[in-house]
Structure 1
């Protein structure tokens, strides 16, 4: 007896579903679990956990914060880059902020990416005893951004200027001859017709504080920092530990990984392993 075409098609689809369920839902994952248990792969498959005296202190693959209970940097340790994963380095909430370079105006709900970068750079500058200034940042650590109003919308003389990220004294007294006013909370100056105008200022084109020190990675779990950020922190760490600075820099070089395959990505310094090496003396 020949089955109806519609029934034959459904039976064929069901067979394919069962076959692929067994192959891809059972056999494939079990095979990789077995491969992960091989002696030379078991450590990596278990998360590359680092232990000290039998106690897990972190993973080589997942970053973590080296801060005290109040969130302040522990000065004797190298600091990781910022994280947007949950409350910071949360493996269950891996994520980026998804904010881009045009996110420059603070709102009532959150700080813009530009202001976050400015504030972090200023804080790191204070921690490391260097200039934390950056282009398009004010001296008090917010985005140096104006809303410029012109007589004819986008053209004509400037009639009004507002420092959109500052409710106190503006970072700039006048713009194009017009006094700069502070922002009023809750006012949308873009909707009101202002042209958003970032002001570069006189900060150096290459800031002392490197980019990875003030921006979070895409995963929010980066275990590495750039050699430049590690070098910036070396004097503080050496001073706090009473070590020669050359010894700290030697450890930085030892724990710096090169580019993958010699040409992919950028060199990185594993922060956890570097800090543990310092603790071992």
Structure 2
């Protein structure tokens, strides 16, 4: 009799699939979310589980300690009363809906010149050089770094030789300095250095980066001039925070010791004592500064 109650053969695969769907729905759609919610309420996890939201005195959400954000005016200029974050390649910058990296590597040293198809784009080296120069001017330190010109572009030459890869140097072009800019170096390997002529490509030139006389350890830290992989990192290095302390203290009307104490309070050490490097959460640091010494119109 049980044999007559069994579903027909054609229906059995569908019923099996239905049972699998129901089991997975209960496991992954109900049991797992409830278990994760319960785990998120454990001590040490409960503060970050809601998203690390930062609110102002009126209770309005102003940001998250888990996501970096820009502290700039409407024109994109850094607000001097705030610690500045790392650069960001996420959308127009720190866009949580467009998390991304710049996808440029160490070989990106020659700027893409403007053409009829587009405005061109700076190489990673030129981005680093220009950022370092701007930060140096803002913080009152030497913004120079190896392989950068004083003008803030990559110090890169295109070197032509008599026999292609060998022989005497017959022509040298400063690839990132378009005419009529005066090249950062007048001569190289016995040949005069030319500025880059608009529209001229140099596929046969040997790309040669020039280290220059900048110190091996620049005053501007590396994280200040390079973006994180996500573009949303809320952290900066303690070295970059120290570089900005005097400016922020002066703009806030605070003494340097008070600001340094705030920086230390928002510094996290290495994970498990050995992994990674100490970091400063620039978002929570700026929020604490606003509570202590708010700046009108910032």
TM over 0.5: yes
What is the distance in 2 between the residues matched to 1:56 and 1:127? 30
1:271 is aligned, of 273, 276, 282, to 282
Tell me: CA distance 1:150–1:250, structure 2 relative to 1, closer, same or farther (3 Å): same
What is the distance in 1 between the residues matched to 2:10 and 2:123? 57
In structure 2, the residue matched to 1:104 is 109
Which structure has the larger Rg over C-alpha atoms?
2
Are residue 177 (structure 1) and residue 182 (structure 2) matched? no
In structure 1, the residue matched to 2:117 is none
Tell me: CA distance 1:12–1:156, structure 2 relative to 1, closer, same or farther (3 Å): farther
The DSSP-based 3-state class of the residue aligned with 2:200 is coil
In structure 1, the residue matched to 2:227 is 216
> Cα deviations across residues 7-26 of structure 1 (Å, max 9, x unaligned)?
97787566545543543345
Using structure 2 for the length normalisation, give the TM-score. 0.85
In structure 1, the residue matched to 2:201 is 188
1:84 is aligned, of 85, 89, 112, to 89
Q: Detail structure 1 runs of 4+ shifted over 3 Å in the superposition.
A: 1-22, 33-43
Are residue 128 (structure 1) and residue 133 (structure 2) matched? no
Tell me: CA distance 1:52–1:184, structure 2 relative to 1, closer, same or farther (3 Å): same
- Asked whether the 8 Å contact 1:84–1:97 carries over to 2, the reply is yes
How far is the alpha carbon of 1:264 from its aligned partner?
0.9
- Asked whether the 8 Å contact 1:114–1:142 carries over to 2, the reply is yes
The DSSP-based 3-state class of the residue aligned with 2:104 is coil
What is the distance in 1 between the residues matched to 2:139 and 2:208? 31
2:32 is aligned, of 23, 28, 35, to 28
In structure 1, the residue matched to 2:261 is 250
The DSSP-based 3-state class of the residue aligned with 1:252 is helix
Alignment root-mean-square deviation, CA: 2.5
The DSSP-based 3-state class of the residue aligned with 2:167 is coil
Using structure 1 for the length normalisation, give the TM-score. 0.90
> Cα deviations across residues 103-133 of structure 1 (Å, max 9, x unaligned)?
0010032110000000000000000011000
- Asked whether the 8 Å contact 1:137–1:200 carries over to 2, the reply is yes
What is the distance in 1 between the residues matched to 2:94 and 2:70? 7
How far is the alpha carbon of 1:138 from its aligned partner?
0.4
The range that moved more, 240-249 or 259-268, is: 240-249
The range that moved more, 78-87 or 17-26, is: 17-26
> Cα deviations across residues 190-222 of structure 1 (Å, max 9, x unaligned)?
x2x111100000000000000000000011111
In structure 2, the residue matched to 1:51 is 55
What is the distance in 2 between the residues matched to 1:126 and 1:58? 29
In the alignment, structure 2 segments of 5+ residues that lack a partner are 114-119, 293-298
What is the distance in 1 between the residues matched to 2:196 and 2:30? 60
The DSSP-based 3-state class of the residue aligned with 1:45 is coil
In structure 1, the residue matched to 2:170 is 159
Alignment: residue pair count: 279
Tell me: CA distance 1:277–1:151, structure 2 relative to 1, closer, same or farther (3 Å): same
